[in-house]
Structure 1
Amino acid sequence: MKKTMLITGSSSGVGAATAKYFAEHGFNVVATLRNPDAAHGLEGIANLEVVRLDVEDTASIDNALKVAVERFGRIDLVINNAGYGQYGVIEGMPIEKVRKNFDVNVFGVINVIQRVIPIFRQQGGGMILNVGSCGGIFGLPNSSVYLATKFALEGFTESIAYELASQNIVVKLFEPGGIMTPFHERSARESNGDGNVPGYDVFLARTEQAMAKLAEGVATPQQVAQDIYAAATDGTDRLRYCAPYGVEHLVKARRELDDHAYERFMRAQFPGVN
C-alpha cells in the first residue's frame, strides 16, 4: 500500500515543492493550507488532495486529518511546515506580533501533533517531521522573535521524540538554512523595522549588509523537498537533519567553538553590532 503524508503550509515554496515531490515518489499526499484557492502547482495530481488547514484553528486540523483518513485509509507521516518570519528589534516589537509568531510557529505545531498522536497510536505507529531552521541553532540580530520560535521548536521536538518513541512514533527535525522562496519577502512585510525607536539606523543598515551575504548560498524549494524526502524515508529514527544552505560556517562555529570564541566569531560576522 502507498504511504500517506499530510503537510501543513503547502501554498507555495517549500511546502508546495515537498507535497509535489512526495506525490511524484509514491506517496498519497494531503497538502494543507489556510486558503485552498492559493495552492500553486498542485492541481490535477491524482494521489494528492488539497485541504484547508489553519494551524491556529483546531477544528480545521481535525477536519483535515479526517479527510486524510477517509480518502487514503491512514496517515503515515505528518510534516509540520507552516510558519512565518518576524523581523525587527525587540525594543519596538508589539507584543501582539510576538504572540502571533509563537501562535503559528510553536503552538500551531503543537495543535497538529496533539491531534495526530491518537491516530498514530490507533494505527500502531507513524512519523512526525517538524521543519525547524538553522536559526534554532544560533541567534541572529534583528530576528529575535522568529528565532525564539525555532529555538522553542528544537527543544519541544527533541523532548517529544523521546516520549513518543514509547508509542512507536518516530519524530524528526529538519533544520534548513537559507531557502530561495517568498518567505523572506513575507517576513519583511511583517517586519517591525526599528519600531520607531531612535538609534537603530546604523545597526540595521550593517545587519542588512551582513544578512545579504548569507543569502548567497541559499537552496531552491525543490532541493529542500528532496532533502526532506530523504530524511523521512531513510528508515532510521534519527532526530536531527541539518541542511545549512548558506550558513555552513555559522553552524560549524556553534558546534566546534567554545562559548566565548563563538561569540567573538559571531560579532565579527555582524560588524557594528557590538
Structure 2
Amino acid sequence: MKKTMLITGASSGIGKATALYFAQQGWQVMATMRDPAKDDGLAQQPGILVMRLDVNDPLSIQAAIQAGIDAYGRIDALVNNAGYGQQGLFEAIPPEKVQAQFDTNVFGLMHVTRAMLPHFRNNGSGIVINVSSGAGRVTTPLLSVYAASKFAVEGFSESLSFELDSQNIRVKIIEPGFIPTTFYDRAGQEFAFDPALDDYKSFSDEMASFFKSFEGGNLFSAEDVARVIYTAATDDTHQLRYVAGPDIEPLLNLRNSKPDQDYVDYTRSVFTPNGFGQRTKALSY
C-alpha cells in the first residue's frame, strides 16, 4: 500500500524538491501552498495533488487535511516546511514583522501539527517532520528574530517528540544550512534596514561581506535536503535531528564539543569588528 505525505510551503525551494522526490519514490503527495495558482508544474506530476493551505488560516488547514484523507484514505507523514527568514538588525525590525515571523515559522507550524495529530492518533502511527534550520542551534548576527523562531521550533519539536512516543507518532527535525533557493531571495528583499541606526554601519557592512563569502561554496541543494527529509521519514528510527548541509556541520560540532560559555566566548570573538580571519578559521573546524 502506498504511503501518503502532506507538505506545506511546496511552491518552491525545499518544499517543491521534497514533493517531487517523495513522488519519485512512489509516495502519494499532497503538495500544499498558500496560492496554488503559483504552482510551477507540480500538479502535472503523477502522484502529486496540489492544494491550498495557509498555515495561518485554520479553515484551509482542515480543508487540505480532509481533502487528502478523502483522496488517499490516510496520511502517513506531515512535513512542516512553510517558513521564511527575517534578517536584519533587531532594532531595525518592527514589532509587526517579529509577530509575522513567529506567526509563520512557529504558530503556523503548530496549527498544522495540531490539526494533523487526531488523524495520526486514529491511525495509531504517523511522522511529523519539522524543517528547522542550522540557525535553530547556532546563531550569528543579523538573524536574531529568525533564529528565535527556529529555536522555538527546536524546543517545541523535542518536547513534542517525548509526548507523541506514547502514541507511536515520531517527530523529526531537519536542520538545513545555507541552501541557494528563493527562500534567500525573499530574505534579501525583506532584509530590515533603518538608516537612522548609523551606529551599526561599520559592523553591518563587515557582516554583509562575511555572509557574502558563503555564496558559491560547497553547499547542499534543495534536492539534497529532500533526500535527508526522505531518510527521516523512512529510516524507522527514533533519531530526532538530521543535519542537512556541510556548511553547518562544523558550527554544530564546535557547539557540541565545547562547554557552553567557552563556545559563547569563542563565537563572540569571531564576530568582533575586524575579525574576518577568525571567522574564516571558524568555518574550517
What band does the TM-score fall into relative to the shorter chain?
over 0.9
Partner of 1:242: 243
How high is the TM-score relative to the length of structure 1?
0.96
Hey, what's the Cα distance between the residues in 2 that align with 1:153 and 1:180? 22
Partner of 2:41: 41
Hey, what's the Cα distance between the residues in 2 that align with 1:180 and 1:58? 31
Count the aligned residue pairs. Answer: 274
Partner of 2:260: 259
Hey, what's the Cα distance between the residues in 2 that align with 1:271 and 1:225? 36
The residue type paired with residue 179 of structure 2 is I
Return 253-262 or 62-71, whichever deviates more: 253-262
Question: Does structure 1 conserve the Cα–Cα contact (< 8 Å) formed by 2:9 and 2:34?
Answer: yes
Secondary structure in 2 matching 1:74:
coil
- Report the CA distance between 1:190 and its aligned residue: 1.5
Partner of 1:97: 97
Long gaps (5+) in structure 2: 276-285
Write out per-residue CA displacement over residues 143-162 of structure 1, whole angstroms, 9 at most, x where no aligned residue.
Answer: 10000000000000000000
Question: Does structure 2 conserve the Cα–Cα contact (< 8 Å) formed by 1:210 and 1:269?
Answer: no
2:158 is aligned with 1:152: no
- Report the CA distance between 1:273 and its aligned residue: 8.0
Question: Does structure 1 conserve the Cα–Cα contact (< 8 Å) formed by 2:27 and 2:47?
Answer: yes
Partner of 1:208: 208
Hey, what's the Cα distance between the residues in 1 that align with 2:59 and 2:246? 36
Large movers: runs of 4+ above 6 Å = none
Hey, what's the Cα distance between the residues in 1 that align with 2:41 and 2:254? 38
- Report the CA distance between 1:48 and its aligned residue: 0.7
Question: Does structure 2 conserve the Cα–Cα contact (< 8 Å) formed by 1:16 and 1:40?
Answer: no
TM alignment of 1:52-71, pairs within 5 A: 52-71=52-71
Question: Does structure 1 conserve the Cα–Cα contact (< 8 Å) formed by 2:243 and 2:249?
Answer: no
Return 261-270 or 128-137, whichever deviates more: 261-270
Question: Does structure 1 conserve the Cα–Cα contact (< 8 Å) formed by 2:220 and 2:245?
Answer: no
Hey, what's the Cα distance between the residues in 1 that align with 2:209 and 2:193? 15
The residue type paired with residue 252 of structure 2 is V
Secondary structure in 2 matching 1:199:
helix
- Report the CA distance between 1:38 and its aligned residue: 1.1
Could you tell me the percent identity over the aligned residues?
Answer: 44
Partner of 2:125: 125
RMSD: 1.5
- Report the CA distance between 1:268 and its aligned residue: 4.0
